Chain A
Amino acid sequence: MKKSRSGLVMLGIVALLYLVLGLLHPEKTAAALGESLGVLKMILPILLLVFFLMALLNAYIDEKAISRHMGEESGLKGWLLALVGGILSHGPGYVWYPLLQNLREQGAKDGLIVAFIYARSIKIPWIPLMITYFGWSFTLVYTFWVVVGAWLQGIIAQKLLR
């Protein structure tokens, strides 16, 4: 992983943005801060879970196993693993980035990581809500094409990033 100077710069910019907006629209900006704290509270448990998974992965799964399941010779099983993993993963995408980068560094194929990230568009807990708003046929068609799209995108990315 790269060093986090960009993170500190970014944090500075955001803090400045809050300061300026806070002077212009104090109430709205306070609400924004409240929203942010809400998001932080929501993702903290997920974050801990992800980093715990990372720890387990680092300790018990060696690079050979990763390259076998997610590396060059992983084949169809690798794609299935990435797609199912993406669909089942919880929380916002950026929470998963460090873990995914970790897998890449240990030999996982780029295409599989791309497929995982795209497959995250399907969230099983929210499917009932989607059906309520858009109906069964839309939900089925949407889910089908997103899975196909994630797979295709992974294949293209693999070719481009080789």
Chain B
Amino acid sequence: MQSKFKTAAAGTLKSLKRVAPMLLAIIGLIGLFKTYITPEMLRTLFNGSALHDMLVGVGFGGISVGQPFLSYIIGGELLKEGASFYGVTAFILAFVTLGVVQLPMEFSIFGFRFALVRNLLSLLFAFVLALLIAFCVRIFT
């Protein structure tokens, strides 16, 4: 049992070492995005029409990075500023499910085909789910 654990731990350390450069690179990019792309910049881009806001939402959600709660805060502010529910929902979904910044890492770990299929599906689902969610919310409230 003891030696089994040891070899596993050693293997784990090796895989940690293998992903370390990419991980550090991604974290470095996250810092740049956080300081160079501000919520104010995002706010000026929404205009209240569903399709336009959804496209902008997915686009900016996809390139922004950070903890999910950041997308709630930004989304809440956008809503106050007059962005549509469709756009804000698409933004939140894309924010948490798509990551252009971490894409190279996803490709290098999972391989090309898997990462491509997963990201294209997430892109499609950001639109589909945003429509469904905003539609349902409108019915309920």
Contacts and interface: CB of A to CB of B under 8 A. Distances in A.
A36 B28 contact: yes
A134 B72 contact: yes
Contacts of A133: 72-73, 75-76, 79
Chain B contact residues, majority secondary structure: helix
A46 to B, nearest CB: 12
Interface residues of B, number: 66
B7 interface: yes
Nearest to B29: A14
A65 interface: no
B12 A55 contact: yes
Interface in A1-51: 1-4, 6-8, 10-11, 13-15, 17-18, 21, 28-29, 31-40, 43, 47, 51
Chain A contact residues, majority secondary structure: helix
Contacts, number: 199
Interface string A107-145: 000100110011011010010011001110110011001
B89 interface: yes
A28 B128 contact: no
How many A residues touch the partner, as a band?
35 or more
Nearest to B34: A35
Contact of A21 (B20, B27, B32): B32
10 contacts: A14-B25, A18-B32, A32-B35, A59-B8, A94-B106, A117-B118, A121-B68, A123-B68, A149-B129, A157-B117
Interface of B: 4-5, 7-9, 11-13, 15-16, 18-32, 34-36, 67-69, 72-73, 75-76, 79, 89, 92-93, 96-97, 99, 102, 104-111, 113-114, 117-118, 121-122, 125, 128-129, 132-133, 136-137, 140-141
